[in-house]
């Protein structure tokens, strides 16, 4: 167990991103929504607006999330030299 503990600290950024209302949590909610509904509908726009508390359209939002994901991956890589 002692050898595993340092790895959990490397995932702090992921945990923060996955907290209610943050970008990764929102992506997961939208994924769940998209299993039964279209993400290009007016209803999806309203769902995205509700999740993000903005009037952002889906494509720019996903582009921003992609940037956040790239930063998250880079953060984890920096914390774990074996991944570099």
- One digit per residue, the tens of pLDDT, for the chain of length 84 reads 455 555 666 678 888 888 988 888 888 888 888 888 877 777 877 877 777 776 667 778 788 888 999 998 888 888 877 766
DSSP characters over 4-53: THHHHHTTHHHHHHTSTTSHHHHHHHHHHHHTTS-TTSHHHHHHHHHHHT
Say what the pTM is.
0.60
């Amino acid at each position: 167990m002692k050898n595993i503990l340092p790895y959990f600290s490397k995932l702090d950024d992921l945990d923060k991103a996955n907290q209610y209302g943050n970008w990764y949590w929102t992506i997961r909610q939208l994924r769940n929504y998209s299993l039964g509904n279209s993400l290009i509908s007016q209803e999806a726009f309203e769902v995205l607006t509700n999740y993000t508390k903005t009037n952002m359209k889906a494509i720019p939002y996903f582009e921003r999330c992609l940037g956040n994901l790239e930063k998250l991956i880079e953060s984890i890589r920096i914390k774990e030299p074996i991944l570099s």
